[in-house]
Structure 1
Amino acid sequence: MGTIITDLREKFRNGDVVIQLIYINVAIFVVTALVGIILKLFGLGEYASFSFLALPASVGRFLMQPWSVITYMFMHAGVWHILFNMLCLYWFGEIFLMFFSSKHLRGLYLLGGIVGGALFMLCYNVFPYFLPALESSVVVGASASILAIIIAVAYREPNYRVQLFLVGNVSLKYLALFVVVVDLMFITSSNAGGHIAHLGGALAGLLFAVLLNKGIDLTRWINKILDFFFRLFRYHTWHRKPKMQVHYYDSVRRESDFEYNQRKKKKDEEIDRILDKLKKSGYGSLSSEEKKRLFDASKK
């Protein structure tokens, strides 16, 4: 068992951001499912739904659990729900990373979920059609986040073709259009909340791609927050380790903080230059070295 956990941990660390997001979603699904079974066995079935992690349509309920605007996009209603979402995240996430950075993907995943959740709450509180179900309606799933990723890459590379089962090769622009039209047609269905959230995610993906072409990165603020917490976590993890002094008596000189920052700045500037070239001229215009640097950067 220990070997399996160690192996999974290594795959998580070495995987790209798409793999890491899939691992997080699956881990949360498995843990909540197991805890839910235990709660039911002890007669606590009313807590097994984990409703405090789902995003409610009611503003009053949301104010009691504001964290749900984040947690809902990592929750799923069943095996088929998470299986379909994770397959889509893998397929389209890897395509996304061919044209955008890993930070863009993680930021857009959250942004798409937030905008999708906000549109869900807005519609349920504004349109009279949804008012009878306002207090009882919740939404879960990564679909809004995934739609944001699909729409963003479809806008960036509309003629990129994907192979679909029983359909054949389809351009991303037609696939994106089909998904949006289907969601519009079903916004009064039994899963209205899910379809509305999808449309919110699609809107976030479109705005991200359009504004990024103008030099405005909508995911920047999200990534700054994430980087802050990652640095904080690494700091506390490092300070928990036993302190050990190692003295080197060779001629190798340690790199100063200034030198490290300068080297990192040059590397970031080079990646920005490659991304600008990618946006202007397409993936085919990059040299082999530029493609390698972009791929290496996307894994960090």
Structure 2
Amino acid sequence: MGCDGGTIPKRHELVKGPKKVEKVDKDAELVAQWNYCSLSQEILRRPIVACELGRLYNKDAVIEFLLDKSSGKALKAASHIKSIKNVTELKLSDNPAWEGDRGNTKGDKHDDLQRARFICPVVGLEMNGRHRFCFLRCCGCVFSERALKEIKADVCHTCGAAFQEDDVIVLNGTKEDVEVLKRCMEERRLRAKLGKKTKKSKATETVSKPDVPEDSAGPSTIKTRKPEEIVPDSREKKPSAAPKSAATDGSASGKAGKPPCGAPKRTIADSEESEAYKSLFTTHSSAKRSKEESAHWVTHTSYCF
């Protein structure tokens, strides 16, 4: 059982037990959340955007993800982003004490992980993950949660834009914060869909039922009347039209020699007109000639005597 040098192995060196769960370094996790893009895992660089769940992204990475949706690359970190309207560009305040990579170019200097690139413009806290930060969805300004609690106002401290409680979104919050933000996001999108449907229905109603002015109401009702409604009116007007026709026929018969309605028809020969007037018509005796007197090329209605 002994090894070289007389050593005796112990039980944990010979028997393989269950692997220990590796614990995630909290400092490294905070650095990854606040300094790297959640989609491309690259260092955050302006322009920086945030989604409705409070995650930070590079705007270029979000645009590439939206353009490359056809390839089927649906990442968990950005599966809820359907368009560029679902993200807000952040207005961040630079930290004057942050030197970046310039301070440790030789590797002989300690890197302070608590030092952050951005700070709160109201209180001055550094945005390194130790303090809770949030942004306003209406304008994109970023503040610490302490600043919003200490200085209570309905207006943004930087740009003066009015906001509501629904517009405040926590950056890189806990699981409970993410669940609350997810519920609010779903409700907001549902309200937007319902608003679009109501607008479309109103637009279709206005197109299908245009407003009819009062002046044009009379002719339109006459045109759209049914035939059944028009027939009684015509019947009612017939008796009133009969005397007029009789009067006009009487006057015409008196002038032109026409018999009234219902009287037997008379020829011009039987009329009381003069012989000169009657000779103008072919029914007069002077217009009748025998076959011998008329030529073969002359019609019976010819007036050439």
Q: TM-score range by the shorter chain?
A: under 0.3
More helix by share: 1
**Structure of greater Rg:** 2
Structure with larger RCO (C-alpha < 8 A, sep 6+): 1
For normalisation by structure 2, the TM-score amounts to 0.18
TM-score (structure 1 length as normaliser) = 0.18
